[in-house]
Amino acid sequence: MSSIHERPAHVESRLQAGHWQGDLILGSSNGSAIATLVERKTRMTILVFLQSDHSAQTVGDALIGAFSSLPSSLRRTMTRDQGNEMFHHKRIETKTGLRIYFADPHSPWQRETNENTNGLLRQYFPKGTDLSQWDQDHLNAVADELNGRPRACLKDRTPHQAMRRLRHRTQAHTIRNDR
């Protein structure tokens, strides 16, 4: 495991996109779960349905699927807690190109963006709820709503707007370099 203390210092600055924080929110009796992913610069949230369980195999497969759909420029690092569901972190790194770092035990402030987002998600998925009652389409709708909320930290832009602006800049940079 790579410690958060080994993570490059520039990740903390939020100047570059592609650095994620991840976690699980658990349902009633820990019998169901949703993987939550939040990009640090844009605050873009992705929710991943965990259909059968939240074992390391299931979580690994789900995270590989979620990150594989993103461009490589948005797959730089992910910071997680040290939960057993991340036992397959090396497999996730190999398949996605992400570098995974682990926060210190009992240190949620080291993943503050994700912790804040999980708090917002509890408005949609209250504690004690069976999370298996929702499917990926519903999770996408919730993430879309969350990504459409203006954020003071983004100068009242939404995560969707921040991501579009980032993509526009990246395309403009690519066009300039192709000339």
With respect to residue 163, please indicate whether it lies within any of the assigned structural domains.
Answer: no
Could you report the per-residue pLDDT of 7-32, keeping only the tens digit for each?
999 999 999 999 999 999 999 888 89
pLDDT (0 to 100) of residue 4 = 96
With respect to residue 91, please indicate whether it lies within any of the assigned structural domains.
Answer: yes
- pTM reported for the whole predicted model: 0.90
Range of the domain at 117: 4-125+132-141
With respect to residue 155, please indicate whether it lies within any of the assigned structural domains.
Answer: no
Q: How far apart are CA 75 and CA 68, in angstroms?
A: 9
Could you report the per-residue pLDDT of 98-155, keeping only the tens digit for each?
999 999 999 999 999 999 999 999 999 999 999 999 999 999 999 999 999 999 999 9
With respect to residue 168, please indicate whether it lies within any of the assigned structural domains.
Answer: no
Mean of per-residue pLDDT scores for the chain: 91
Alpha carbon distances (Å) from 112 to 22, 40, 103, 117, 129? 10, 10, 11, 9, 23
CATH number (domain holding residue 11): 3.30.420.10
With respect to residue 119, please indicate whether it lies within any of the assigned structural domains.
Answer: yes
With respect to residue 86, please indicate whether it lies within any of the assigned structural domains.
Answer: yes
With respect to residue 152, please indicate whether it lies within any of the assigned structural domains.
Answer: no
Q: Number of structural domains, the chain?
A: 1
Q: Spell out the residues 6+ positions from residue 169 whose beta carbon is closer than 8 angstroms to its own.
A: none
What average pLDDT does the segment 60-88 reach?
94
With respect to residue 46, please indicate whether it lies within any of the assigned structural domains.
Answer: yes
